[in-house]
């Protein structure tokens, strides 16, 4: 079957007051692991591919088609989403490939420019039945530094969603991208005020830096889509490193990528119920 439209996954979660995990795919093993973890948990999941990952593979198509194939074969609802795209051409490519959702990231632009660019992309995607996520109040750390950035103002968020028509909004509430430790301090009061102000589901970026208890609390406060990447990459790398340390003679990548894939699947299966409140 085709990948599940992400609005069905996210809107269902928002209606039930639970969260849904959105995990970043770096290579085929990540996509396999994320789907396997979701199947083990019996819960929906979103596969995300970032602009940086598309660049790493030379284009979006190779890794994008692999993720779409995994979504079609899954035994649970799986959506495929373009994450942190600053390139309009990349958004168009994702839509053409069959992605059901894109994140257009113009958060570094001044507010009015962000609105104008996001509104244009949203109109283009909606005409083709594709959902759009945007970011307001830049979430820091995209270059690896723990820089929480500017908090999102609820009144500005309300106006932004109304002006652009986006389907989901990533907001800055204290998390930061690429954190290697899970000690980010979230502003739960701000999450609640944003939830009250904005009709679109809220997205928590930088969730690798947030511990389990605070992830669950963030969902209870109003977050719906929860993005995780670095936390899974740590599990992947740790398992591969452990295998290579104990088997230094190994040359076949399948020998160490297999355990790395299994480690990610196990962590996805553990995290999804945390977000789902189950």
Over the range 123-138, which residues count as b (16 or more CB within 10 Å of their CB) and which as e? Answer: ebbeeeebbbbbbbbb
pLDDT digit string, tens, across residues 199-216: 999 999 887 778 889 999
User: Taking all residues of the chain, what is their mean pLDDT, rounded to a whole number?
Assistant: 91
Give, in order, the Cα–Cα distances in Å from 251 to each of 190, 234, 237, 256, 257. Answer: 50, 22, 16, 9, 11
Percentage of the chain exceeding pLDDT 90: 78
Q: CA–CA separation, 89 vs 71, rounded Å? A: 23
Region 182-193: mean pLDDT is 83
User: Does domain 6-276 correspond to CATH entry 3.20.20.70?
Assistant: yes
Instruction: Say yes or no to pLDDT of 141 above 70.
Output: no
Tell me, letter by letter, the H, E, C secondary structure of 144-193: CCCCCECCCCHHHHHHHHHHHCCCEEEECCCCCCCCCCCCCCCCHHHHHH
Region 154-159: mean pLDDT is 94
- Helix ranges (H only) for the chain are 6-16, 28-41, 51-56, 60-73, 88-97, 111-126, 154-164, 188-197, 212-221, 230-246, 253-276
Task: Give catalytic status of residue 83 as yes or no.
Answer: yes
The secondary structure of residue 201, as a DSSP letter, is P
Q: What is the pTM of this model?
A: 0.92
Region 81-99: mean pLDDT is 96
pLDDT attached to residue 176: 63
Q: How confident is the model at residue 95 (pLDDT cuts 50, 70, 90)?
A: very high
pLDDT attached to residue 147: 47
pLDDT attached to residue 209: 79
Residue 185: how many other CB atoms lie within 10 Å: 12
Region 187-200: mean pLDDT is 94
pLDDT attached to residue 111: 87
Helix axes 230-246, 253-276, angle to 10 degrees: 150
Q: Are 271 and 15 in contact (CB under 8 A)?
A: no
Give the active site residue among 7, 12, 83, 153: 83
Region 8-30: mean pLDDT is 96
Angle at 271 between CA 270 and CA 277, to 5 degrees: 105
* Structure-block tokens of residue 237: 């790398």
């Amino acid at each position: 079957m085709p990948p599940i439209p992400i609005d069905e996954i996210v809107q269902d979660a928002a209606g039930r007051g639970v969260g849904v995990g959105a995990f970043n795919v770096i290579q085929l093993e990540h996509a396999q692991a994320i789907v396997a973890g979701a199947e083990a948990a019996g819960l929906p999941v979103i596969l995300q591919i970032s602009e940086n990952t598309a660049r790493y593979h030379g284009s979006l198509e190779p890794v994008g088609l692999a993720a779409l194939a995994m979504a079609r074969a899954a035994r649970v609802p799986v959506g495929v989403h373009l994450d942190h795209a600053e390139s309009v051409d990349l958004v168009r490519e994702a839509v053409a490939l069959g992605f059901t959702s894109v994140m257009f990231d113009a958060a570094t632009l001044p507010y009015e420019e962000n609105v104008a660019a996001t509104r244009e992309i949203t109109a283009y995607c909606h005409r083709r039945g594709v959902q759009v996520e945007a970011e307001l109040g830049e979430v820091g750390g995209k270059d690896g530094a723990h820089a929480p950035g500017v908090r999102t103002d609820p009144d500005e968020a309300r106006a932004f969603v109304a002006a652009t028509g986006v389907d989901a909004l990533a907001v800055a509430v204290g998390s930061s991208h690429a954190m290697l430790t899970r000690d980010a301090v979230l502003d739960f009061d701000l999450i609640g005020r944003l939830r009250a102000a904005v009709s679109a589901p809220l997205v928590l970026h930088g969730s690798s830096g947030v511990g389990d208890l605070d992830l669950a609390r963030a969902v209870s406060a109003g977050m719906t889509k929860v993005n995780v990447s670095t936390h899974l990459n740590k599990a992947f790398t740790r398992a591969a490193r452990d295998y290579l340390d104990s088997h230094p003679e190994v040359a076949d990548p399948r020998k160490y990528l297999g355990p790395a894939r299994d480690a990610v699947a196990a962590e996805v299966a553990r995290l999804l119920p945390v977000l789902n409140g189950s």
